[in-house]
Chain A
Amino acid sequence: MASIPTRFDVIVVGAGPAGSAAAYLLAKKGFSVLLVERGKGLGDKNMFGGKVYAQPIREVWPELDKEAPIHRWVTKERISMVDGEKVFTVEYRTEKKVSFVTYLTQLTQWMIKKAEGAGALLASEVTVEEILMKDNKVVGIRSGPDVIEADAVIDAEGINRLLLERLGLVKKLDPDTVGLGVKEVLKVGESNIESRFGLDKKEGLAWAIVGDVTKGIPGGGFIYTNKDTVSMGLVLHLSKKLIDEGSFESHVSSLIEGFRLHPYFKPYWKDAIISEYGGHLTITDAIKFAPSKFAYPGLLIAGDAAGLLLSLGYTFRGVDYAVYSGKLAADAIEYARNNGGVSYENLQVYDDYIRKSFMYEEIMRHRGAITLMNSFELMSRYPKLLTKVMEKMFEADYKHEVIYNSLIQALKEEGISPFNLISQAFMMVKGI
């Protein structure tokens, strides 16, 4: 019998995109790696689709395009503004393989297989209960009665940071920094998807919806075309205020139902059955959510746990950011090994890597977006204004209004001054 190891070079907590990428690269670089995941079937349950940006992931897995479970490459991006039954939609088409649609769990499974293939030891169905400290340094983990030691621990536990909370490194989840995502998967069928959304084989559509599909709650809707299903849902920005009002829970199911039955969207999933549904938290305010440092003695924080998610309202970048931060964590540990060992001085490069990365720069650059996403203007007024302009331009039995007058009239009816519109539009463009 081989002896059972109780010490590894690196322990990675959480086999999401961040943890799997870090484990994969470290194992490939020759480190002994323990990857611990509390989930059971490694995502055979949670099959929701999302849009994933490819390039940062290709830096870890150049074989991504060929091997990964990619449902469709996004060739169409749509944005709709909704006011009641009125809808204003813009669409952009591209041929470039920038982002793709997939079931996130299939993609994660693929990443985990890669990590295991490279030699990382995956222990699933096991919850890490504690990250262990000794003399102000992280030395390992505990699960039940079992203690496993390591030179470094990568915390990739996702948005619900119970372990970091327990260490006192982050505060309890602040509702103002997160949103609730609710999703449904509708079995539309491959050929229906292609004919209804006007897509070719392997082509996909990503659709962001703003306006009163969320009935005044900041956030928005999304629709993604998977291979033979459509994922649709809402992201609702939480806030202490909303939760205190207590009306949140009853809202959610009726909101998503309202979205599903909306006359503009309904035909896309005509006759489809709901095959899955569920909810998950997501980061809405990355800067407030982030821990004060990304590297601590013996500990690196990656992915959602590090607050690395870009939410622009029309696009989410969480998966590729998670993978890329996992890569930076692996780079930092390799740097430490090559420079005399996994000391805190050496591990600190990770903090630098993150702060100088495109991810952090992007999050800082777009920090205005969050204020905007939470603003009443974007959520309610502008969709109303735009649909009103359209109404004045198109809904004429005999006489059509000139565009300029349509706008002025709509502004008047909505009580928005042209000056405010211009300054806010400027802020919006600058913010996003």
Chain B
Amino acid sequence: MRIVVGMKWVPGTTSVRIDPKTGTLIREGVPSIVNPHDMPAVELSLQLKDKYKGEVIAISMAPPPALKGLEYLIGMGVDRGILVSDRAFAGADTLATSYVIAKTIEKINREIGKVDLVVFGQETIDSSTAHIGAQTASWLNWPYIYYVHDAKFVDSKFVVERVLEDAVEEWEVELPAIIATHMKALKPRPVRLINKIRYKVEKPIMTWTNAELKLDPRCIGLKGSPTIVSKTVNVPEVPRKKIVYTPKSGEDAAKWIIETLMKDDKASKVLMKYLSMEGEVQ
């Protein structure tokens, strides 16, 4: 089977800081990484390839530094990468991004071979919209299943397991389809030396610009993006008090928490406010 897996090149959040004055991300000097939630998607794709043969193609709409991310995925065992990169794609919201991705998948379908499955991660750590899988499925009019943690063929039917809070659902899906993995679905395999050598020797990477994709400029980049972030509010980090109490019982714990909160000026006011609201409802 031919599987396409999506990858986003994101700033590593553990080191991201917010400029307290402007409320925007400080990107300077922040190393980028493969969006961690994409890793289970890559792992699932590779496991499917291990079982059913075929190829895995990683795609990323991003500026050229994202090549490092594609290199990493090829190091894990992905067969090739396609970097979809053009200034014209810059400033895209999820709608314009999913449009470019859908068109990329169509082009792969036409020119490389029939795509059976597209796999995305649950969401990205730098924007957490979880839109791309669903939107791409809408553009392509393919079935879409979210929160997937396993997929396999059962008697030539493709069966996808999706985890919910209190249940696991099994879906039979007609291919081609799009799935998005649950962020904790699978542990990604490490990079292998031999794959890294292959990456350098074969250079299995293509870059597609809009000269290749030929998309209407009104549908891509900033122009094709109806979503606007109108304002961001920076919530300053509250310093922790780091008080540790070992309660004797549940009741004791509750009592201690209330007492401690009541001793604190700010906390007691908030608490009193909510307690009085509760009274009104009753």
A interface residues, Cβ below 8 angstroms from B: 1-2, 4-6, 34, 36, 40-41, 44-45, 47, 121-126, 143-146, 148, 275
Contacts and interface: CB of A to CB of B under 8 A. Distances in A.
Contact of B192 (A34, A44, A124, A146): A146
A144 B201 contact: no
A126 B201 contact: no
Contacts of A36: 193
Interface string B31-43: 1000000000000
B192 A4 contact: no
Given A41-B31, A144-B190, A275-B29, A126 B196 contact: yes
B237 to A, nearest CB: 16
Contacts of A126: 75, 191-193, 196
Interface string B184-207: 000000111110111011100000
Contacts of B75: 125-126
Nearest to A120: B200
B192 A121 contact: no
B193 A121 contact: no
Given A41-B68, A44-B31, A45-B31, A123 B193 contact: yes
Given A125-B196, A146-B193, 14 more contacts: A4-B197, A4-B201, A4-B202, A5-B197, A6-B194, A36-B193, A41-B68, A121-B200, A122-B200, A125-B75, A144-B190, A145-B192, A146-B192, A275-B29
Contacts of A45: 31
Contact of A125 (B191, B198, B200): B191
A5 B192 CA distance: 14
Contacts of A122: 200
Interface of B: prevailing SS: helix
Interface residues of B, number: 16
Contacts of A41: 31, 68
A227 to B, nearest CB: 13
Interface in B200-217: 200-202
Contact of A121 (B29, B68, B197): B197
Contacts of B146: none
> Which of B29, B68, B193 neighbours the largest number of chain A CB atoms within 10 Å of its CB?
B193
A333 B197 CA distance: 23
Contacts of B197: 4-6, 34, 121, 123, 148
A1 B200 CA distance: 12
Q: What 5 pairs across the A-B complex have the smallest Cβ distances?
A: A123-B196, A143-B193, A146-B193, A146-B194, A126-B193
Contacts of B120: none
Nearest to B15: A45
Contacts of B202: 1-2, 4
A40 B71 CA distance: 11
B72 interface: yes
A79 B196 CA distance: 47
Contacts of A121: 197, 200-201
A148 B200 contact: no
A143 B195 CA distance: 11
Interface in B27-57: 29, 31
Interface in B71-118: 72, 75
Nearest to A42: B68
A144 B193 contact: yes
Nearest to A45: B31
B276 to A, nearest CB: 43
A148 B197 CA distance: 10
Contact of B200 (A44, A123, A143, A144): A123
Nearest to A34: B197
B97 to A, nearest CB: 25
A9 B198 CA distance: 17
29 contacts: A1-B202, A2-B202, A4-B198, A4-B201, A4-B202, A5-B197, A5-B201, A6-B197, A36-B193, A40-B31, A41-B68, A44-B31, A45-B31, A47-B29, A121-B197, A124-B196, A125-B75, A125-B191, A125-B196, A126-B75, A143-B192, A143-B193, A144-B190, A144-B192, A144-B193, A145-B192, A146-B192, A146-B193, A148-B197
Interface string B1-36: 000000000000000000000000000010100000
B200 to A, nearest CB: 5
A226 to B, nearest CB: 13
B13 to A, nearest CB: 14
